[in-house]
């Protein structure tokens, strides 16, 4: 089992560094919880991102994977759960698109509070 608080903290940390791909969160969990199943890692990652989205700590974005220097477009709130539930959103790239997450100003401030404590 991956503790939800650990997955939450890993995801928030990744979000504060830069845009992070959904797949990168799974990779990070894989490196820390090697004995857990892949399904468990996806569940933990998805649960953490849902919690972060509900709390407005992060936003979801999409960009053209062939133009990495382009600014990602924010995914509307009413589409975010659909995107998280779509397995291809968790691929490094699919059909030339990549799904990313990044901290909001609020999420950045909350992360800084946690790390300063």
Alpha carbon distances (Å) from 49 to 5, 96, 103, 115: 11, 23, 11, 19
Collapsing DSSP to helix, strand or coil, 54 comes out as helix
Q: Are 24 and 14 in contact (CB under 8 A)?
A: yes
**Would you list the domain boundaries of the chain?**
4-116
CA distance 7 to 27: 12
% of residues, the chain, pLDDT over 90: 86
The answer on pLDDT for 69 being more than 80 is no
- With tokens 């468990």, the residue in question is 40
CATH of 4-116, one of 1.10.10.10, 1.10.287.130, 3.10.620.30, 1.20.140.10: 1.10.10.10
d(CA 17, CA 10): 11
Q: Please report the pLDDT score of residue 117 as a whole number.
A: 64
> What pTM, to 2 d.p., does this model score?
0.93
pLDDT tens string 27-63: 999 999 999 999 999 999 999 999 999 999 999 999 9
Residue where the block lists tokens 């799974």:
26
């Amino acid at each position: 089992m991956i503790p939800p608080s650990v997955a939450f903290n890993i995801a928030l940390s990744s979000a504060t560094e830069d845009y992070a791909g959904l797949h990168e969160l799974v990779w990070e969990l894989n490196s820390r919880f090697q004995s857990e199943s892949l399904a468990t890692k996806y569940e933990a990652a998805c649960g953490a991102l849902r919690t972060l989205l509900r709390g407005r700590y992060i936003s979801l974005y999409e960009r053209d994977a062939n133009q990495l220097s382009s600014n990602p477009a924010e995914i509307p709130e009413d589409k975010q759960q659909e995107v998280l539930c779509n397995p291809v959103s968790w691929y490094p790239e699919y059909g030339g698109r990549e799904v990313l997450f990044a901290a909001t100003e609020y999420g950045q401030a909350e992360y800084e509070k946690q790390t300063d404590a």
